[in-house]
Amino acid sequence: MKNLKSNTKDDLNLELFLVKKLGICLFRYQLSPKERLSTINSTLAKMLGYSSDKKIKNFTFKSLFKNPEDAKDFVKTIKKEKIVKFYEAEFKRKDKK
Protein backbone atom coordinates (compact mmCIF):
# COMPACT_ATOMS: atom_id res chain seq x y z
CA MET A 1 0.00 0.00 0.00
CA LYS A 2 1.43 3.34 -1.00
CA ASN A 3 0.28 6.62 0.46
CA LEU A 4 0.67 9.85 -1.47
CA LYS A 5 -0.20 13.27 -0.12
CA SER A 6 -1.55 16.14 -2.20
CA ASN A 7 0.15 19.43 -1.52
CA THR A 8 -2.54 21.81 -2.69
CA LYS A 9 -6.28 22.14 -3.13
CA ASP A 10 -5.69 22.18 -6.91
CA ASP A 11 -4.00 18.77 -6.65
CA LEU A 12 -7.01 17.40 -4.80
CA ASN A 13 -9.46 18.89 -7.32
CA LEU A 14 -7.49 17.33 -10.19
CA GLU A 15 -7.49 13.98 -8.41
CA LEU A 16 -11.26 14.18 -7.84
CA PHE A 17 -11.81 14.99 -11.53
CA LEU A 18 -9.64 12.06 -12.62
CA VAL A 19 -11.30 9.70 -10.17
CA LYS A 20 -14.72 10.50 -11.65
CA LYS A 21 -13.47 10.04 -15.20
CA LEU A 22 -11.64 6.78 -14.48
CA GLY A 23 -14.50 5.19 -12.55
CA ILE A 24 -12.48 4.74 -9.37
CA CYS A 25 -14.20 4.64 -6.00
CA LEU A 26 -13.42 7.52 -3.73
CA PHE A 27 -14.47 8.34 -0.24
CA ARG A 28 -13.20 10.45 2.60
CA TYR A 29 -13.44 9.09 6.11
CA GLN A 30 -13.40 11.65 8.88
CA LEU A 31 -11.91 10.58 12.23
CA SER A 32 -12.93 13.56 14.34
CA PRO A 33 -14.89 15.02 15.91
CA LYS A 34 -17.02 11.99 14.97
CA GLU A 35 -16.02 9.05 12.77
CA ARG A 36 -18.09 9.17 9.58
CA LEU A 37 -18.01 9.09 5.80
CA SER A 38 -17.75 12.75 4.85
CA THR A 39 -17.38 12.32 1.07
CA ILE A 40 -18.49 9.52 -1.24
CA ASN A 41 -18.39 9.57 -5.02
CA SER A 42 -21.13 8.18 -7.25
CA THR A 43 -18.81 5.46 -8.58
CA LEU A 44 -18.64 3.86 -5.14
CA ALA A 45 -22.42 4.07 -4.77
CA LYS A 46 -22.97 2.43 -8.17
CA MET A 47 -20.44 -0.33 -7.48
CA LEU A 48 -22.33 -1.09 -4.27
CA GLY A 49 -25.62 -1.23 -6.19
CA TYR A 50 -27.12 2.10 -5.15
CA SER A 51 -28.48 4.76 -7.48
CA SER A 52 -26.70 7.66 -5.79
CA ASP A 53 -24.12 8.50 -3.18
CA LYS A 54 -26.87 9.99 -1.01
CA LYS A 55 -28.25 6.47 -0.43
CA ILE A 56 -25.11 5.37 1.44
CA LYS A 57 -24.04 8.67 2.99
CA ASN A 58 -25.50 7.76 6.40
CA PHE A 59 -24.26 4.17 6.53
CA THR A 60 -21.65 3.37 9.11
CA PHE A 61 -18.33 2.99 7.39
CA LYS A 62 -17.54 -0.35 8.97
CA SER A 63 -20.88 -1.76 7.76
CA LEU A 64 -19.73 -1.42 4.14
CA PHE A 65 -16.94 -3.99 4.51
CA LYS A 66 -17.64 -7.68 3.85
CA ASN A 67 -14.93 -8.66 6.30
CA PRO A 68 -15.04 -6.85 9.69
CA GLU A 69 -11.28 -7.40 10.09
CA ASP A 70 -10.66 -5.38 6.91
CA ALA A 71 -12.67 -2.52 8.40
CA LYS A 72 -10.64 -2.61 11.61
CA ASP A 73 -7.37 -2.75 9.66
CA PHE A 74 -8.39 0.18 7.45
CA VAL A 75 -9.34 2.36 10.42
CA LYS A 76 -6.08 1.43 12.16
CA THR A 77 -4.13 2.31 9.00
CA ILE A 78 -5.85 5.65 8.48
CA LYS A 79 -5.33 6.62 12.12
CA LYS A 80 -1.63 5.88 11.73
CA GLU A 81 -1.00 7.23 8.20
CA LYS A 82 -3.65 10.01 8.13
CA ILE A 83 -4.12 9.61 4.35
CA VAL A 84 -4.61 6.31 2.55
CA LYS A 85 -4.71 6.54 -1.23
CA PHE A 86 -4.96 2.86 -2.12
CA TYR A 87 -6.52 0.13 -0.03
CA GLU A 88 -7.97 -3.11 -1.33
CA ALA A 89 -10.96 -4.65 0.42
CA GLU A 90 -14.29 -6.22 -0.45
CA PHE A 91 -17.42 -4.21 0.24
CA LYS A 92 -21.02 -5.38 0.66
CA ARG A 93 -23.40 -4.74 -2.21
CA LYS A 94 -27.05 -3.82 -1.84
CA ASP A 95 -28.05 -7.02 -3.68
CA LYS A 96 -25.73 -9.13 -1.45
CA LYS A 97 -23.58 -10.26 -4.42
> How large is the average pLDDT for residues 16-25?
71
| Domain membership flag for residue 96 | no
Task: Flag whether 59 is in a domain.
Answer: yes
In a domain, 90, yes or no: no
Please indicate, yes or no, if residue 50 is contained in any of the structural domains.
yes
49 found inside a domain: yes
> Per the domain annotation, does 66 fall within a domain?
yes
pLDDT at 19: 66
Residue 91: inside a domain: no
Q: Which domain holds residue 45?
A: 9-81
Contact 29, 76 (CB under 8 A): no
CA distances 5 to 1, 56, 90, Å, are 13, 26, 24
Predicted pLDDT of residue 7: 56
The tens digit of pLDDT for each residue in 33-74 reads: 888 888 888 888 888 999 888 888 888 888 899 999 999 999
Residue 82 CB partners (closer than 8 Å, separation 6+): none
Q: Considering the domain boundaries, does residue 97 fall inside one?
A: no
Query: pTM higher than 0.85, yes or no?
Result: no
Instruction: Count structural domains, the chain.
Output: 1
Looking at the DSSP bridge assignments, the partners of residue 36 are 30
Average pLDDT (9-38) is 77
Up-side HSE of residue 11: CA atoms within 13 Å toward CB? Answer: 5
* Average pLDDT over every residue of 90-95: 91
